[in-house]
Every structure is written in C-alpha cells, then in structure tokens.
A and B are shown apart, each in its own frame.
Chain A
Amino acid sequence: MTDRIEKSVFLKAPRSRVWRALTDAEEFGSWFGVRFPNQFAPGAQMRGTIAPTSVDPEVARTQKPYEGRAFEFVVDRIEPQKLFSFRWHPFAVEPEFDYSKEPMTLVVFTLEEVAGGTRLTVTETGFDKIPLARRGKAFEMNEGGWAEQMKLIEKYVAS
C-alpha cells in the first residue's frame, strides 16, 4: 500500500494538443466527464457538474446516473506546456456529506515531449494528510519512515 498514485502514459499527440486537452476547461470536461462554467486559473475554485464523457460510450453510461452532481476542485498551478495541478476531495462520494473540512489530495499532471508524442504523468498524493514538506523528511529517516511503514503494512495486508 502506498499513499501515492502515479500513472504515466504515452500519447501520440503533440505536447500543445495534450496541454489544451488538460487545461481548457471545456476540453478537460469533454474527456473527463464534467462540465465547468468557467476557465481554469491558478487558485480558481472550479464548481462543475458531472456530464458523461464524449469519448467512451461505456464510461459515459456509468457516469450517466451521476449526471448533474457537483464536481469540484481547486486549481493549484498552471505552468504552460509543463505542469497542471489541482486539489480535490478524493473521498467525496456521499452527496449529503459536507467534505469542505476534509483533507484534499493534490493531483499533478506533468508533460514531457518525447519522440513521436508526449509522455504524460499524473500523480495523486496526500491521502495520508502528511504535508509534503514533512513527508520528504519522513522518507529520509532511517527508521519509521513512511515508505518503510507502508511496506510493513502491505505485508500484513497481503497475509
């Protein structure tokens, strides 16, 4: 078990194309499956609603029952062609529950130009609520570091 999710994918498209798909609110919404009334900007609170994706009919079908439900995130950083990040409540699944005081995770997209296309990496961190600054230190500790502990836990969970 880890508190970090990291995914990397090769996209056969120029970096500028990927950048637009990520940071243009309408384009983002189109593949992700959400509709936003305003554009992304650093620090902007995005309040959108779930709207089935246009690119995958199967996923669109699973999103359909949730259509119109609130979908929110707070834009963190926008570094043109390089990095786009936002914070959201990863546990926001029960509509009647107030998540505003719950911890948020940080989602970071980074783009890299590679031969024939773009390498896109997405990470989601902060499930454990440890501030990133402290986490670095925790990793450096000889014992009791977070990563080490999670390995231990994984062992018990697997058994």
Chain B
Amino acid sequence: MRPERVFAALGDETRLRIVSRLGERGRLSIVTLTEGTRVTRQAISKHLRVLEDAGLVRSARQGRENIFELDVERLKEAQRFLERRSQQWDSALHRLKRFVER
C-alpha cells in the first residue's frame, strides 16, 4: 500500500468534493458529478483519473457513459495508517516520559 498516493489525491478541494459526493450518493456519472460545480467536465474527468490511480475510485462502463464509485477500502487503509502513526507517537512519547522522569 502506498498511502501517500491516497493522501496526495485527497489534497485537492475538487477531488475531495468528488469523493464526498460519491460517498453520499453512491455511483455517479461525470455529467452528474459536474452538475452544480464551476469546474468543466474535462477537469472533473482529469480529477477522476487521479482518484482512480490512487485506487480511491473505480469506474465501470454503463451504456454510453462511465459510472464512478468510491472504494471505501482505500479510505479505510488511509485511516488505519493514521491510527498506526498515532500509536507510534503514543509509544515514542511514553519512552520520552520514562527517559526524562527517571
């Protein structure tokens, strides 16, 4: 797993908005994802590619359009990474405590 790709993919407001819309509404087309935004369809399409490369989004052909959906597992992995990281800091601070209090 390369969590930095997930975090980097999420480090953009448009992409975050796409992720949150897919999270709320399930499977959506580029047309629907573009509705109500000030971003062009081409730009949305580019952002979706970044999200797909990071494994956050999957697409499937349906009729004449691509339908996109969120891969929540990737978000969970990223979250687990942060949790591990958080535990590592707990452990490090515990060692520091022992070190300065002895």
**Contact: A21 with B7, CB < 8 Å?**
no
**Contact: B100 with A144, CB < 8 Å?**
no
Chain B, Cβ-Cβ closest to A60: B95
**Contact: A120 with B20, CB < 8 Å?**
no
**Contact: A1 with B75, CB < 8 Å?**
yes
Whether A5 contacts B8 in the complex (CB less than 8 A), given A144-B16, A156-B70, comes out as: no
Taken together as a complex, chains A and B put the C-alpha atoms of A13 and B97 apart, in Å, by: 9
- Which of B17, B92, B100 contacts A149 (CB under 8 A)? B17
Chain A, Cβ-Cβ closest to B91: A59
Taken together as a complex, chains A and B put the C-alpha atoms of A154 and B79 apart, in Å, by: 9
A-B CB contacts (within 8 Å), total count? 110
Chain B facing A: main interface SS: helix
**Contact: A11 with B76, CB < 8 Å?**
no
Chain A facing B: main interface SS: mixed
Q: Which residues of B contact A146 (CB under 8 A)?
A: 13, 16
Q: List 30 A-B contacts (CB under 8 A).
A: A1-B82, A5-B89, A7-B93, A11-B100, A18-B100, A31-B92, A32-B92, A55-B98, A91-B4, A103-B4, A103-B7, A122-B89, A124-B85, A124-B89, A127-B7, A128-B7, A128-B10, A129-B8, A129-B11, A138-B13, A144-B16, A146-B16, A149-B13, A152-B20, A153-B19, A153-B23, A155-B23, A156-B24, A156-B70, A157-B72
